[in-house]
Amino acid sequence: MRVDEKLTIDAFKTDIESHIKINHDICRDKCKIKYCLFICPGHLYTLNEENNEVVVEFAGCLECGTCKIACIEGAIEWIYPRGEYGVQYRYG
Amino acid sequence: MDKIDAVIVGGGLSGLSCAYKLAEKDMQVIVVERGDFPGSKNVTGGRLYLEPIKSIVGDMLDGAPFERKVVRERWSLLGDDNSISIDFTGEKFKQTNHSYTILRAYFDRWLSEKLIEKGVYVIPKYRVDDLLWEGDTIVGVRAGEEEIYANVVIASDGVLSFMAEKAGLKQKMKPKNYAVGIKEVIELSEEKINDRFNVDVNEGCAHLFIGDVTKGMFGGGFLYTNKETVSLGIVVGIKALTEKTPTIETHALMDDFKDRYEIGRLIDGGSLVEYSAHIIPEAGYNGISKLYGNGIIVTGDAAGFALNMGVTVRGMEFAIASGIIAAESVIKAKEAEDYSEKTLACYESKLRETFVLKDLYTCKDISAFLDNDSFFSFYPNSFPDLVEKIMWFGEEPKGRIGKYLWNEMKASGLLSFKRLKELYTFKNV
Ligand SMILES: Cc1cc2nc3c(=O)[nH]c(=O)nc-3n(C[C@H](O)[C@H](O)[C@H](O)COP(=O)(O)OP(=O)(O)OC[C@H]3O[C@@H](n4cnc5c(N)ncnc54)[C@H](O)[C@@H]3O)c2cc1C
Ligand code: SF4
Ligand code: SF4
């Protein structure tokens, strides 16, 4: 089963605004390895080849915090979704 | 403004345990939890050891929704294409309440309901956004438009603890100090679980894996049996992942693990009912933040109280115990009518007398010791290979077993100076 299919099994309540913001200048100027593209357990980061920008599909975020820590360049501004929003685990 | 005795940020095991002990002393306490209900944002592997906490929990866990009592322990060393396992069971494990598997969405929710019956306000669906200050003292929290004033704020807000950060108590979060855990909950019938794991009704198995599961990186895999599900997952160091070349997609590690023959048989016919992930503090004693300040105490994962020994993570007993000790400290501060760091320092001194800081201190060198290729690559490959050679009967005559074993061990490097030294230094860990 692909990871995006796994995510469809989870329960999410999606807020309008993303709780993850990326500073694209930092990504472009400082980051060669682009950890976020492979480190996210939800595989939510992708590179938009057209404008060379990293995008994150915040709606599927498992709120693990891995990207926040792995991005040592500090390009990721990460807060918890507002109360009630985000992933809601039913087993935990 | 009216102040309550304590406001607790985070309705995980740590925050709820703290609230329970405060409620026993009729203290006014509010727990604020950002999830739909306590347990809805929490991820664990699944095993809670009860022995370390049994003397302090009182009746808190009476009637708790445990999944299964662990009576069988399995350890597997996974080579690339082979493995060896140890399977242990013992009467002592069956006769005592040593450890249980749990699922947090049931467990934490149950505990919060018990709290509500005791008159504690547990407010779900609210994210605490900020701390409230008066000079250099923290006097409450703000959640959206709401402000709650309290004599003490308890930061039980988990490993990312924004509260400890805002209070200036937290170390900068570095990849080497954290691991990521990925978990799948897989539904299987109760009978299938009993049969496949060779356990009776309500009895369970804890199975840990090391080696190929993390492709030699710091970490391991786990499988815990619940009543009608199994919790299957991996834990791997974030720094190790960032340094791995060629890079590996974290989620693919989980798939490779599931695809192994050893796992496939155990979960065959099961259906995935949840996919989750969460980070884990793994710096142990050296990663602990400052534990208190004027008007604030930090508990559980927020304080860094977890022990990641590669294959096994212990965090829940630490979360529960530190929550309870925080409550005792708040009670002391109330008696002294002083909530400054001078009085709240008793929190840390008390922790030092208990397993919380003692165990963390004892194990303070373990991650440095384990952090090399020996434990996650060399041994997991060498031992199964050695056993494979012993078990294999080919065309040639087999020869004397002792001599054969000796030669093979020498050839594999298991008897090299480096390995023997490693074994020797192990006694210091
Ligand atoms: C994959 C994995 C396997 C593990 N295996 C084991 C194991 O087998 N045994 C073991 O003992 N430990 C294990 N651990 C560790 C254990 O799960 C943790 O140590 C434990 O959950 C910590 O409890 P806590 O109450 O401190 O934090 P958490 O359970 O993280 O609770 C924190 C709570 O605070 C809430 N919160 C955070 N910020 C806010 C805010 N601003 N406003 C309102 N609410 C907020 C969160 O929603 C959450 O409910 C494992 C961990 C992982 C990830
Ligand atoms: S790791 Fe950080 S800096 Fe690098 S591309 Fe991703 S978000 Fe940008
Ligand atoms: S928090 Fe975890 S799941 Fe969410 S985007 Fe970051 S790495 Fe992915």
What per-residue confidence (pLDDT) applies to B208?
A: 96
Confidence of residue B394 (pLDDT cuts 50, 70, 90): confident
Å between B104 CA and nearest CA of chain A = 5
Cα gap B130→B140, rounded to integer Å: 9
| DSSP class of B268 | T
Q: How far apart are the first and last CA of chain A?
A: 20
Decide if pLDDT at B425 tops 90.
no
CA of A20 to the centre of ligand 3 (A): 9
Average of per-residue pLDDT values in chain B: 93
Q: Is the pLDDT confidence value at B233 over 80?
A: yes
The answer to whether the Cα torsion of B9, B12, B13, B14 is positive or negative is negative
CB B109, CB B37: distance < 8 Å: yes
pLDDT in the model for residue B427: 66
Nearest to A38 among B35, B127, B247 (CB): B247
Beta strands at B219-225 and B229-237: parallel, antiparallel or unpaired: antiparallel
A9 vs B contacts (CB less than 8 Å): 272-275
Name which of A5-14, B24-33, B78-87, B280-289 the model is least confident about.
Answer: B280-289
pLDDT of residue B338: 97
Among candidate residues B115, B108, B15, B12, the one with its CA nearest the CA of residue B59: B115
**Of all residues in chain B, what percent carry a pLDDT higher than 90?**
79
Question: Above 90 in pLDDT, residue B269?
Answer: yes
Chain B, 87 to 126: residues with Cβ < 8 Å from chain A are 103-108, 124-126
Question: B257 CB near a chain A CB, below 8 Å?
Answer: no
Partners of B254 on chain A (C-beta within 8 Å) are 41
Mean pLDDT on B395-423 = 76
B333-360, pLDDT tens digit by residue? 999 999 999 999 999 999 999 999 999 9
Among B301, B247, B260, B254, which Cα is nearest to B277's?
B254
Residue A42 alpha carbon to ligand 3 centre in Å: 7
Structure tokens at A17: 């605004």
Range ranked top by mean pLDDT from B39-43, B282-286, B419-423:
B39-43
The pLDDT of residue B308 is 82
Q: What is the CATH number of domain A3-87?
A: 3.30.70.20
Suggest the residue from B125, B171, B180 to mutate for an interface test with chain A (most A CBs closer than 10 A): B180
Residue B419: the pLDDT is 77
Distance of CA B297 to the CA centre of its chain: 21
Structure tokens at B98: 């040593």
Chain A residue with minimal CA distance to B101? A92
**Residue B309: enclosing H or E segment and its boundaries?**
none
- Structure tokens that stand for B52 in this block: 């370390």
Q: Read off the pLDDT band of B53 (50, 70, 90).
A: very high
Minimal CA–CA distance to A64: which of B251, B382, B128? B251
Distance CA B237, CA B211 (A): 13
Confidence band for B6, pLDDT divided at 50, 70 and 90? very high
Whole-angstrom Cα distance, residue B286 to residue A87?
A: 31
Q: Is the pLDDT of residue B288 over 80?
A: yes
Q: Which of B270, B306, B231, B323 is nearest to B47 (CA)?
A: B231
* Domains in chain B, CATH or no CATH each: 4-70+101-174+283-364 (3.50.50.60), 176-281 (3.30.9.90), 370-428 (no CATH)
Question: Is B132 within 8 Å of B115 (Cβ atoms)?
Answer: no
Task: Among B227-231, B265-269, B384-388, name the one with the lowest average pLDDT.
Answer: B384-388
- CA–CA separation, B23 and B138 (whole Å): 22
Angle at B325 between CA B321 and CA B327, to 5 degrees: 120
Residue B371: pLDDT above 70?
A: no
Residue B417 is predicted with a pLDDT of 76
Which backbone phi and psi does B3 adopt, to 5 degrees? -110, 135
Is residue B181 predicted with pLDDT exceeding 80? yes
User: What is the pLDDT, as a whole number, of residue A4?
Assistant: 97
B224 touches chain A (CB under 8 A): no
Question: Which atom of ligand 2 is nearest to A72's Cα?
Answer: 2
The DSSP-derived string for A5-40 is HHHHHSEEE--SS-SEEE-HHHHHHH-SS-THHHH-
* Mean pLDDT of all residues in B366-377: 73
Alpha helix (H) residue ranges in B212-282: 238-243, 250-259, 261-267
The pLDDT value recorded for residue B372 is 66
What was the pLDDT predicted at B289? 84
Contacts of A58 (CB under 8 A, 6+ apart): A18, A19, A20, A44
* H or E stretch at B305: none
Please list every protein residue whose CB sits less than 6 Å from any atom of ligand 2. A 22, 26-27, 31, 34-36, 54, 71, 73, 75-76
pLDDT at position B428 over 70: no
Q: How confident is the model at residue B426 (pLDDT cuts 50, 70, 90)?
A: low
ipTM of the complex: 0.98
Please name the residues between 330 and 389 in chain B that touch chain A, using a CB distance below 8 Å. Answer: none
| pLDDT computed for residue B406 by the predictor | 79
> pLDDT tens across B77-100, in order?
999 999 999 999 999 999 999 999
Q: How confident is the model at residue B265 (pLDDT cuts 50, 70, 90)?
A: very high
User: Average pLDDT, stretch B197-212?
Assistant: 96
Q: Find, among B297, B284, B299, B382, the residue nearest to B341 by Cα.
A: B297
